[in-house]
């Protein structure tokens, strides 16, 4: 590592919602910056106007706000190296393309798209693939094949052109990647990429390198899909005579079965989001689900994401952002792809949900209760939430696990009735009602002690009585400790539920 102050960047193109793989890239950059007391930059790479999607930049910023990933410099923050949106830096790229022409590392190419298509077709007919490379360029219309005078004339007449990188012939480029180690590629398999387009805009390659240099970026941490561009980038730094940053290419996020890159389609098929926030496509109106809207806590989402491709080198699994910043290092990022695991994601959410205090959870539960017309200000709601939180992964599941605290069962689960409402249940529950009616101190401990003593005295089956009792109070075989439930709903409601259940379920005939 060099000793300059660490500067890293996340450089998304605003072409749609940010995939969770992109959020992970941003997260690792953020953690790296925090760990080394460096600066984290957000740069928007919007030079490809055809792929620009309105709302995408705002989405990216909102997603990071939700996750708690802070930028030090960039589109929303400003800084000494702005502007941070490439479309606003447009004017400064041409000089770099021209500088490379001057130094013999790039050239003008005048081939029209029609000409190139024709050649491509010809190649296809001969079952070959055309690439504008060190061999083919010798037969095409560019400043390497045309005379100086012809080139001057074409430029003078405003003939459209692009500027291409002049790939060195047959050279082995040696690259160093922090994660993959040493990588070698021979330039004969590479093509002469366009650096500057006929519409006066730079391509990704030129703008990205120029900006990383101008913004004094020290480490480029990005997705593995950019690894094929690395030789060109390394050669561009060399051609400019600029010191290259350190490169680190992160492993892919894989489908749950490990076969290929995680895509939106996998999420749709298997029922999980691949975007941090919900996204509505501005053209089609199609809505894609998001982690936030699905009820994930940002801290769970971040914790889960951090461990997809990185590990702390020990058994720890739970990390706050601060703890991650402390623990993170590139040498613990794995080379191989990381499988997405939906159950693990839910498990992390469960962990953070259980860790919240009951008042906070009750507050999060409030909108659900209000929707059900239940007074969300009731003083025992935090207590109720505390009783059931171990049983859920999401706040939205709290209702399912606690509805019986707020209203009597409307029906009795048929399967439970079949299994747990036995021939003697009616008589035992009628008796139990009398026992409960005698109790004045209706606390959980006291009712439990009294009811259990009654069961033992009569030599009834503990399980059978408790199951039937639960069925009458809850309507199904679920819920926390039954005596805790009746303490909350109170004596009157408990007796009323028993009455109603006895009436509806009746006496089961012996068969």
Q: Interface with ligand GLU by CB under 6 A: which residues?
A: 11-13, 45, 204, 208, 222, 226
Q: Which residue shows structure tokens 């040498």?
A: 331
User: Is residue 227 a contact partner of residue 213, using CB atoms and an 8 Å limit?
Assistant: no
Nearest approach, Cβ of residue 102 and ligand GLU (Å):
26
Nearer to ligand GLU, 84 or 348 (CB): 84
| 264 among known catalytic residues | yes
Nearer to ligand GLU, 11 or 194 (CB): 11
The C-alpha atoms of residue 212 and residue 78 are separated, in whole angstroms, by: 16
Nearer to ligand GLU, 86 or 143 (CB): 86
Please name which of 125, 97, 118 lies closest in space to residue 109, comparing C-alpha atoms.
Answer: 97
Q: Which residue shows structure tokens 């590990």?
A: 311
Largest CA distance in the chain: 112
Nearest approach, Cβ of residue 346 and ligand GLU (Å):
29
Burial of 156 (0-12, 13-18, 19+ CB in 10 A): exposed
Nearer to ligand GLU, 262 or 486 (CB): 262
Question: 425-437 and 482-505 helices cross at what angle (nearest 10)?
Answer: 130
Nearest approach, Cβ of residue 44 and ligand GLU (Å):
9
Residue 422 CB partners (closer than 8 Å, separation 6+): 464, 468, 508
The C-alpha atoms of residue 374 and residue 322 are separated, in whole angstroms, by: 38
Nearest approach, Cβ of residue 46 and ligand GLU (Å):
9
Nearer to ligand GLU, 228 or 258 (CB): 228
Q: 3-state DSSP call for residue 417?
A: helix
The C-alpha atoms of residue 16 and residue 59 are separated, in whole angstroms, by: 8
User: Is residue 60 a contact partner of residue 169, using CB atoms and an 8 Å limit?
Assistant: no
Nearest approach, Cβ of residue 81 and ligand GLU (Å):
16
CB atoms inside a 10 Å sphere around CB 310: 24
Nearer to ligand GLU, 219 or 420 (CB): 219
Nearer to ligand GLU, 15 or 131 (CB): 15
Give the DSSP per-residue string, 441-462. Answer: ---HHHHHHHHHHHHHHHT--H
Q: Where are the beta strands (DSSP E) in 104-218?
A: 106-109, 162-165, 172-177, 181-186, 194-196
Nearest approach, Cβ of residue 246 and ligand GLU (Å):
13
Residue 348 CB partners (closer than 8 Å, separation 6+): 300, 301, 303, 304
Residue 121 CB partners (closer than 8 Å, separation 6+): none
Give me the catalytic one of 264, 344, 356, 422. Answer: 264
Nearer to ligand GLU, 207 or 321 (CB): 207
The C-alpha atoms of residue 63 and residue 76 are separated, in whole angstroms, by: 13
CB atoms inside a 10 Å sphere around CB 117: 12
Nearest approach, Cβ of residue 12 and ligand GLU (Å):
5
The C-alpha atoms of residue 141 and residue 374 are separated, in whole angstroms, by: 76
239-257 per-residue burial string, b: 16 or more CB within 10 A, e: under 16: bbeeebbbbbbbbbbbbee
The C-alpha atoms of residue 250 and residue 225 are separated, in whole angstroms, by: 9
Nearer to ligand GLU, 45 or 192 (CB): 45
Nearest approach, Cβ of residue 38 and ligand GLU (Å):
16
Nearest approach, Cβ of residue 84 and ligand GLU (Å):
13
> Could you give the residue numbers annotated as active site?
264
């Amino acid at each position: 590592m060099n000793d300059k102050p660490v500067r890293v960047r996340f450089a998304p193109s605003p072409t749609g919602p940010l995939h969770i793989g992109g959020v992970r890239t941003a997260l690792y950059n953020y953690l790296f910056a925090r760990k080394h007391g460096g600066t984290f930059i957000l740069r928007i790479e919007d030079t490809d106007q055809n792929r620009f999607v309105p709302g995408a930049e705002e989405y990216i910023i909102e997603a990071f706000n939700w996750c708690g990933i802070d930028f030090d410099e960039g589109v929303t923050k400003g800084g000494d190296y702005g502007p941070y949106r490439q479309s606003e830096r447009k004017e400064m790229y041409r000089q770099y393309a021209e500088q490379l022409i001057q130094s013999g590392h790039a050239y003008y190419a005048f081939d029209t798209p029609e000409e190139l298509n024709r050649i491509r077709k010809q190649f296809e007919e001969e079952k070959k693939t055309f690439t504008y490379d060190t061999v083919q360029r010798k037969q095409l219309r560019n400043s390497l094949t045309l005379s100086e005078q012809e080139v001057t004339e074409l430029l003078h007449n405003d003939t459209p052109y692009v500027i291409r990188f002049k790939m060195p012939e047959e050279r082995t480029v040696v690259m160093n990647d922090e994660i993959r180690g040493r990588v070698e590629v021979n330039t004969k398999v590479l093509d002469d990429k366009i650096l500057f387009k006929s519409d006066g805009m730079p391509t990704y390659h030129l703008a990205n390198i120029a900006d990383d240099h101008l913004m004094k970026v020290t480490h480029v941490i990005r997705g593995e899909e950019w690894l094929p561009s690395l030789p060109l980038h390394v050669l561009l730094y060399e051609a400019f005579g600029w010191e290259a940053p350190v490169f680190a290419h992160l492993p892919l996020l894989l489908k749950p079965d490990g076969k290929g890159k995680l895509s939106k389609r996998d999420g749709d098929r298997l029922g999980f989001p691949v975007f941090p926030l919900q996204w509505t496509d501005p053209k089609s109106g199609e809505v894609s689900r998001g982690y936030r809207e699905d009820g994930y806590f940002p801290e769970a989402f971040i914790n889960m994401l951090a461990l997809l491709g990185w590990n702390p080198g020990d058994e720890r699994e739970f990390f706050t952002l601060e703890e991650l910043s402390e623990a993170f290092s590139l040498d613990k990022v794995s080379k191989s792809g990381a499988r997405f695991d939906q159950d693990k994601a839910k498990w992390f959410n469960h962990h953070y949900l259980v860790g919240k205090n009951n008042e906070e959870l009750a507050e999060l539960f409030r909108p659900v209760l209000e929707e059900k017309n239940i007074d969300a200000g009731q003083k025992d709601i935090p207590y109720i939430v505390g009783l059931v939180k171990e049983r859920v992964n999401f706040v939205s599941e709290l209702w399912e696990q606690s509805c019986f605290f707020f209203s009597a069962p409307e029906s009795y689960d048929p399967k439970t009735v079949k299994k747990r409402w036995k021939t003697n249940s009616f008589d035992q529950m009628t008796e139990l009602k009398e026992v409960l009616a005698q109790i004045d101190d209706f606390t959980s401990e006291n009712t439990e002690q009294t009811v259990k003593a009654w069961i033992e005295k009569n030599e009834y089956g503990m399980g059978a009585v408790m199951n039937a009792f639960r069925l009458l109070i809850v309507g199904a075989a679920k819920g926390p400790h039954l005596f805790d439930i009746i303490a909350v709903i109170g004596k009157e409601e408990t007796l009323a539920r028993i009455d109603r259940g006895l009436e509806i379920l009746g006496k089961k005939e012996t068969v």
